[in-house]
Amino acid sequence: MLRRILLFALLACMGISVSEAQTPLRIIMIGAHPDDCDLDAGGVGILFSKMGHAVKFVSVTNGDAGHQSEGGGILAKRRLAEAKEAGRRFGVEYDVLDNHDGELLPNLNVRLQIIRKIREWGADVVIAPRPNDYHPDHRYTGVLVQDAAYMVGVPNVAADTPPLKKNPVFLYFQDNFQRPNPFRPDVTVDITSVYEQKVYALDAHVSQVYEWLPWIGGYLDQVPKSDADRKAWLAKTRAVPITPEARASLEKWYGKAYAANVKHAEAFEICEYGSRPTEDDIRRLFPMLKTQ
């Protein structure tokens, strides 16, 4: 009981009402690979978790192709272990679906998998990639989640899982692709206070952040050897610059003076296929957005 009172007191200091605290939000983030949600929105996942809300990361593939010298079941097993450890560090649940990396297609079978995951989680918010990206798995994950957006409320689709009574708000992760249309930062969240924890969680994906991604990117020789140097290098190389558009979004949600001092942020675009949120809805669904 004392712990609950202290939690409400802490939430009150953060500007969150007791009524909000009594009804935790349920957030599900869906990426193509077992590090995508982490990289794109790990900071926001931490913030939600710290505020007492329920967060799940889902990887649509098992990551069994994402390495220069390992592959198949052995790599999938390694990446599952990394994802589970990262989830522990983020403070979120982590599911990895058993679809092959590099072979994902937007078919009915995978769509039903995603519909079930969203329903089972009882999601208020769903976040996924936009369907325009360099990697086909990323693109098709975006298409699959779009295709699931309306169907999560249709009882006769995936009838073995109860439908949602209300369509969640769907959003996209940030990207830098310009065609056919550039990313629009409708919601931008300050993650400066949890950036070090995000880096610590990303550090669990050893096969990716220190091996595969540097190898395929041509900078494997730049990866430091010691653990401490690696984390410092990771913090530097994985910092995402705040674009002028994202800075303007920060000013909208936090106020201009506060936004000027934000060092790290994660941005999201609202998908028009889910519920259409008002500004009040966004502030309720992203309770860390408080105008300063």
Examine residue 9 and state whether it is found in any structural domain, yes or no.
Answer: no
Domain range enclosing 60:
23-285
Q: Is residue 13 part of a domain?
A: no
Residue 216: inside a domain: yes
* 290: confidence class by pLDDT, cuts 50, 70, 90: confident
Is 47 or 14 the better-scoring residue by pLDDT?
A: 47
pLDDT surpassing 80 at residue 30? yes
Instruction: Provide Rg for the chain, Cα atoms.
Output: 19
Is it the case that residue 292 has pLDDT exceeding 80? no
- CATH at 190: 3.40.50.10320
Model confidence at 150, pLDDT cuts 50, 70, 90, reads very high
Region 165-192 average pLDDT: 97
In a domain, 291, yes or no: no
Q: Domain tally for the chain?
A: 1
Residue 6 lies in a domain: no
| Terminal-residue alpha carbon distance, the chain | 31
For 98-136, the pLDDT digits (tens) are 999 999 999 999 999 999 999 999 999 999 999 999 999
Indicate whether 290 belongs to any domain: no
Is residue 8 situated within a structural domain? no
For all residues of the chain together, what is the average pLDDT? 94
The pairing of beta strand 26-31 with beta strand 125-128: parallel
Q: Is 11 domain-assigned?
A: no
CA 147 to chain centre: 19
DSSP the chain: -HHHHHHHHHHHHTT--HHHHHS--EEEEEESSTTHHHHHHHHHHHHHHHTT-EEEEEESS--TT--SS--HHHHHHHHHHHHHHHHHHHTSEEEE----TT-----HHHHHHHHHHHHHHT-SEEEE--S--SSHHHHHHHHHHHHHHHHTT-TTSSTTSPPPSSPPEEEEE-----SSS----SEEEE-GGGHHHHHHHHTT-HIIIIIIHHHHHT-GGGS-SSHHHHHHHHHHHTPPP--HHHHHHHHHHH-HHHHTT---EEEEEE-TTS----HHHHHHHSTT----
Q: Hey, which residues does 222 pair with through a beta bridge? A: none
